[in-house]
Amino acid sequence: MAILNLIPTEKIIERLRYENPWWITKEIPNTYSSMSKRLYFDLFYPFVVERSINRALVLMGPRRVGKTVMLFHCIENLLKEGTNPHKLFFIGIDNPIYVNLSLEDILTLCKDSLSLENLDGCYVFFDEIQYLKDWERHLKVLVDSYPNTKFIVSGSAAAALKWHSTESGAGRFTDFLLPPLTFQEYIHLKKLDHLIFEGDIQYGDKDIKYCLTHDKKALNKEFIHYLNFGGYPEVVLSEKIQGDMGRYVKSDIVDKVLLRDLPSLYGIKDVQELNRFFTYIAYNTGNEFSYETMSKESGIQKDTLKKYLEYLEASFSN
């Protein structure tokens, strides 16, 4: 680990202890424990605790849909189920302090800082994994080298995650997609579950289960609000963000995908051209198109358009 000469080892260990407060407190930070779990949590968590198959779990999804929060909720559940706090590691790969460190370097530091003999029975959470070059190769090696350790990773740049996990992680990775909020989750997060209840409707000779409501007017009002603001958990819960939704979407979601994620992942040099193309399709949402027409009207070559569409689709930006 020659790179450690550039950043003092004690500084890196200090950061690891900051990111893993449960090593001492046995609890996750209140910032996360106070947040409601997404309904997808109950689908995701069984994959976290699954150990009969030696695979890493890859949590994919667009920016700001709650992937990091879900990882912390997993750690909270593991603690409640009696998992040793020293067996739970969380590392945010996007932090510059880990630059040029391999995943195994970081694991070694975690192990040494806790004086662990081995990593058997540990759960290792790598957040924003796409910031590590060749992350899928590193992760595959870890899965093979530490069969008694469970690795869970997440990343916002789903284009890389989807592509790389398919190409390089066959048989070693399990993918899980976390989409924007569904309407049911929106109702759940806003604590309006009383508006919806499950009931049976007679259809022919069969009883079919439906979601019903006692207050159609109130439910329709919330549905309109969901269409305007409901895709992202923090937006649903913040009137301040709702008051300037355009700025939030542009600065926190679109710009980070168009100006940082996609250019770095696919070597896109003309960022302005990509941004121009995104603007073009945004203003033509719902319209029919042909590559020829789109190329002529946008001024971008047809082959380039096809690539941009693939990148945007994989990153959930279209």
Which tens digits make up the pLDDT trace of 21-78?
Answer: 999 999 999 999 988 899 999 999 999 999 888 999 999 888 888 999 999 999 999 9
In a domain, 67, yes or no: yes
Total domains present in the chain: 3
Residues 232 and 225: beta-carbon distance below 8 Å:
no
Does one domain contain both 40 and 156?
yes
**Secondary structure percentages of the chain, helix, strand, coil, to 5:** 55, 15, 30
Say yes or no: 130 and 70 in one domain: yes
Structure confidence by residue, pLDDT tens digits, 146-174: 999 999 999 875 545 555 555 555 568 88
The per-residue pLDDT for range 244-277, each reduced to its tens digit, is: 777 766 666 677 777 777 776 677 878 888 888 8
Say if residue 160 is in the same domain as residue 73.
yes
Q: Is residue 240 part of a domain?
A: no
Same domain, 109 and 256: no
Same domain, residue pair 136 and 215: no
Predicted TM-score (pTM) of the model is: 0.80
Residue linked to tokens 């994919």: 60
The answer on 301 and 224 residing in a single domain is no
Question: pLDDT by residue (tens digit) across 194-221?
Answer: 888 777 777 777 777 667 777 889 889 9
Query: For residue range 64-105, what is the model confidence (pLDDT) as tens digits?
Result: 889 999 999 999 999 999 999 999 999 999 888 888 788 999
CA torsion 179→181→185→187, rounded to 10°?
-170
Owning domain of residue 269 = 245-314
| Measured distance CA(197)–CA(218) in Å, rounded | 14
- Cβ atoms 155, 256 nearer than 8 A: no
Instruction: Tell me, yes or no, whether 224 and 282 share the same domain.
Output: no
Residues 105 and 123 in one domain: yes
Q: Answer whether 78's CB lies under 8 Å from 218's CB.
A: no
Q: What is the pLDDT of residue 71?
A: 97
> Does residue 236 belong to any structural domain of this protein?
no
- CB distance 13 to 114 below 8 Å: no
